[in-house]
Amino acid sequence: MKQFNVPNVYRSGLISAIKNARKSKDKLKKDFSPTILDLGSLQIFLARHFGFCYGVENAIEIAFKTIEENPGKRIFLLSEMIHNPQVNAHLKEKGVIFLQDTYGKQLIPFSEITADDVVVIPAFGTTLEIEAMLNAKGIETQQYNTTCPFVEKVWNRSEQIARKNYSIVVHGKPKHEETRATFSHASTHTPTVVINDMKEAHLLAQYIRREKGQSQFEEEFKGRFSTGFDVDKDLQRIGVVNQTTQLATDTQAIAEYLKNVMTQYYNLDVHGIDKHFADTRDTLCYATSDNQSSVNGLLQADADLAIVVGGYNSSNTSHLVELCAEKLPTYFINGADKLISKELIHHCNWKSKEESFTENYLPNKKPLRILITSGASCPDAIVEDVIRKLSVFYQVEEKLDNFIQAFELV
């Protein structure tokens, strides 16, 4: 896989040594068991896969290269480059100006940008409407387009099945940048609707079975369907694609459920299902899948708590928190500074996004066993900072350097 040139400040000697050692022993990525850092009184169980993915490293490389190649020019980002506060803050320090927030709220009016400016499209992609507006202003978009290739894969798959007269059901968070972009691309080719979860899949099934009508659909899915969507006609043939950072198991479950609804409603056998339902399993992102599988492997360990590191508005990171929280106490933090002390942590609720303090979060046990992972937009350096902060609490930091040497010799 291509090696990207990203700022060294995001790299970690410890994490790189661990990842390289694991990769050399498991080239086919079939082993999802954690890496164990036994520091005596503290044991860290580190997920097999975590941190920057291909799309994120690609976006960061393009963004910083753009800054270097355009001295003196105003450089704008359509929204956050990725969902990581440290990376976005770094870009702002370099003079990059954000046009929108993560939910599409305008921070700088588009009317203020000109053909002399540089506009970078973030890893999530953007809508065709915004891209057309920028092109109309004479702004080059392709050169500074950091859209993740796996997001573009979803768009391409949507177009392919649209040509076969399927409508698109997008499984995604309706306000997320990537979902808005995927909806824009899909709805250009075919009728499209966005559903957020299995509950809404059940709701959509009522329209597939014609238990509800057009007016109810327009109310219940307001703002989430393409112009002219006709429930009687456009839900007869569908395919499910996803926001790539959703839980892979959720997308698969939703697709399987809607497939079964079609099978039962149209009285189909296994060979006739493609008349009403398109196979889109190949749109799942490898990094999202690997990171989630690694958390499942991580949770096989006998541990006392989990710490998940990443941006609080990161969809893929929130799902890792969700998986961990089902099994044991889990704390969602975006940096080592949130570990205030051995007795106090400042963390985020993955559902409400509200931050709070928790006292005595580290059980008085020896050894204390902690599971650690991070989202696809979290630099490895931040994960190392978290590990080192915990090791300082237990006065075992010097042992970490021994692990670097040990893994480099593997």
**pLDDT 10s digits, 276-305:** 999 887 677 888 889 999 999 999 999 999
Task: Summarize pLDDT for 115-153 with one digit per residue, the tens.
Answer: 999 999 999 999 999 999 999 999 988 999 999 999 999
The pLDDT value recorded for residue 400 is: 86
Q: How confident is the model at residue 410 (pLDDT cuts 50, 70, 90)?
A: low
Q: Please state the rounded mean pLDDT for residues 328-356.
A: 97
Determine the Cα–Cα distance for residues 118 and 93; give it in Å rounded to an integer: 17
User: Is the CB of residue 251 less than 8 Å from the CB of residue 284?
Assistant: yes
What does the radius of gyration of the chain's CA atoms come to, in whole angstroms? 23
Kindly report the number of other CB atoms within 10 A of residue 33's CB atom.
15
The pLDDT value recorded for residue 2 is: 74
Q: How confident is the model at residue 1 (pLDDT cuts 50, 70, 90)?
A: low
Show me where the domains of the chain are located: 8-52+287-408, 54-136, 149-284
Contacts of 256 (CB under 8 A, 6+ apart): none
Task: Summarize pLDDT for 346-364 with one digit per residue, the tens.
Answer: 999 999 999 999 999 999 9
Residue 246 has pLDDT above 60, yes or no: yes
Task: Summarize pLDDT for 15-64 with one digit per residue, the tens.
Answer: 999 999 999 999 888 999 999 999 999 999 999 999 999 999 999 999 99
Beta strands in 87-208 (DSSP E): 97-98, 118-120, 167-171, 192-195
CATH topology for 8-52+287-408 is Cobalt-precorrin-4 Transmethylase; domain 1 (3.40.1010)
Residue 394 has pLDDT above 80, yes or no: yes
Please name every residue paired with 408 in a beta bridge, in sequence order, or none if there are none.
Answer: none
Active site residue ranges: 178
Q: Do domains 8-52+287-408 and 54-136 have the same CATH topology?
A: no
Residue bearing tokens 């926001």: 243
Residue 171 has pLDDT above 80, yes or no: yes
Determine the Cα–Cα distance for residues 201 and 150; give it in Å rounded to an integer: 24
DSSP one-letter string for 209-261: TTSS-HHHHHHHTTTSB-TT--HHHHTSSEEEEE-TTS-HHHHHHHHHHHHHH
Q: What is the mean pLDDT of the chain?
A: 93
Contacts of 372 (CB under 8 A, 6+ apart): 44, 45, 46, 47, 306, 307, 308, 309, 383, 386, 387
Q: How confident is the model at residue 266 (pLDDT cuts 50, 70, 90)?
A: very high
Please name every residue paired with 193 in a beta bridge, in sequence order, or none if there are none.
Answer: 169, 225
The pLDDT value recorded for residue 104 is: 83
User: Is the CB of residue 84 less than 8 Å from the CB of residue 314?
Assistant: yes
- With respect to CATH, is domain 54-136 assigned 3.40.50.11270? yes
Phi and psi angles of residue 224, each rounded to the nearest 5 degrees, phi first? -130, 20
Least confident of 109-118, 285-294, 323-332: 285-294
Determine the Cα–Cα distance for residues 156 and 192; give it in Å rounded to an integer: 14
Distance in Å from the first CA to the final CA of the chain: 21
Q: Is 81 exposed, middle or buried (0-12, 13-18, 19+ CB in 10 A)?
A: buried
pLDDT above 90 covers a percentage of the chain that reads 85
Highest mean pLDDT among 149-153, 268-272, 307-311: 307-311
Q: Please state the rounded mean pLDDT for residues 220-229.
A: 97
Determine the Cα–Cα distance for residues 140 and 173; give it in Å rounded to an integer: 29
CATH topology for 149-284 is Cobalt-precorrin-4 Transmethylase; domain 1 (3.40.1010)
Kindly report the number of other CB atoms within 10 A of residue 282's CB atom.
9
Sheet holding 167-171, edge to edge: 192-195, 167-171, 238-242, 277-278
